[in-house]
Amino acid sequence: MSDTPDSAVRTYTEQHRAAFLADLAEWLRIPSVSAQPEHDGDVRRSAEWLSGKLAETGFPVTEIWETPGAPAVFAEWPSQDPDAPVVLVYGHHDVQPAAREDGWSTDPFDPVIRDGRMYGRGAADDKGQVFFHTLGVRAHLAATARTTPAVHLKLLVEGEEESGSPHFRALAEERAGRLAADVVIVSDTGMWDENTPTVCTGMRGLAECEIELSGPGQDIHSGSFGGAVPNPATELARLVAALHDTEGRVAVPGFYDGVAELTGTERALFAELPFDEETWLRTAASRATAGEAGYSTLERIWARPTAEVNGIGGGYQGAGSKTVIPSSAFVKLSFRLVAGQDPERIQEVVRSWVEDRIPAGIRHRITFSPATRPCLTPLDHPALQAVARAMGRAFGTKILFTREGGSGPAADLQDVLGAPVLFLGISVPSDGWHGPDEKVELDLLLKGVETTAHLWGELADALR
């Protein structure tokens, strides 16, 4: 093998593979389940373990940042180059609950390697994808003969992502000066599949609400009063039925104001992906696609805003019949948002839409949960192109582009720091996030190491 930077990175990675995987397995044995109070001590132990390991890696600054909930870990490695760009890497060290009786083949917190895969809770989501940065930066230094990274490198690894990141926004605002960066790299995402390396360019935002309609002061007889007083369940059904028009568009006035429309280039890039709708439908446990007219399935779930009914109820729910007009009914709605939409504005237009449709005799209450902003990196952004080049060097193939249909705290960093967010992940759909037998493909995990080893130099050149 020729002595090139790329081959040097690969050689260094292979030489340190065994120790890297042993360290990762040690971290996975800490059951850092943020959602279960009995594991609070384990979440703290996970933060302490990571802080120590980052110091061992070479980061001269490692700190545990307290929150009203679980602790986060911050690390910093300044570049000797005073003009080097500042890069902040985001991830999380908490994991989803897991137990053998959930369907795991082995103990979820006693990781095992089988057939080139490491099984264990957090292997992919997100400890494995956080941890590849440790070996990656060391490979970067070894291959370039540098003593410090080519960028001013910072890490922020939170401990509450799997619990909805309730304190993350406040932490980012409080520590904005320490977190200031030219670009944010999120390593809590994935690729299209094992054979199709991809870079995610954005995630949708999220606004959620619960609407409760109240009518009579109690359930009343439908024979004695039906047809003469308003029925909350009937009015709720009308409200939900009016949420979309016949073309599948959200019918709330003002909902699409500011939406960043898909470009022809983006639609063409989505079409390059090896998407099979029948396979996708099986994964979705569904029989047919549906949604906004004029858009493909991928475009609908990645790049278009949506409104969904997540739960609905009211009136008698038991066996048999009970002929009443219910006193109340409710619906839970979620709105996935895309670039150009402001969650606070969406809350305003939804609230106005509901109020305009409530008839006399019906009282209503609408309650919104904390919102998440959408984030999107333009395809021509030099930092995004640097990520694609670094991944292309590691994988030796063309890198395609995707988006994520879900939401996450990355948008808070974009909002608070005013820096573009980019996504770098090597997980694949078969890794089984949040489910039994979560795993990570070891070859892909090592490709993540190689990608980050190349990335710091690519970003340093791109952002000068």
CB 298 within 8 A of CB 198: no
pTM of the predicted protein model: 0.91
How far is the C-alpha of 347 from the C-alpha of 367, rounded, in Å?
A: 10
CB 159 within 8 A of CB 66: no
Of 340-344, 378-382, 405-409, the least confident: 405-409
Which position has the token pair 């003969």? 145
Of 194-203, 237-246, 408-417, the least confident: 408-417
Q: Which residues touch 446 (CB under 8 Å, ≥6 apart)? A: 13, 14, 17, 132
pLDDT of 366 higher than 50: yes
Q: Which residues touch 9 (CB under 8 Å, ≥6 apart)? A: 139, 140, 142, 143, 450, 453, 454
Q: What is the pLDDT of residue 4?
A: 63
Q: What is the pLDDT of residues 95-141, one digit of tens each?
A: 999 999 999 999 999 999 999 999 999 999 999 999 999 999 999 99
Identify the three-state secondary structure at position 133: helix
Cis ω on the peptide bond leading into residue 356 (within 30° of 0)? no
Burial of 332 (0-12, 13-18, 19+ CB in 10 A): middle
Q: What is the pLDDT of residues 253-302, one digit of tens each?
A: 999 999 999 999 999 999 999 999 999 999 899 999 999 999 999 999 99
How far is the C-alpha of 218 from the C-alpha of 197, rounded, in Å?
A: 58
- What's CA 130's distance to the chain center, in Å? 14
pLDDT of 2 higher than 60: no
Q: φ and ψ at 284, to 5 degrees?
A: -80, 0
Identify the three-state secondary structure at position 56: helix
Q: What is the pLDDT of residue 118?
A: 98
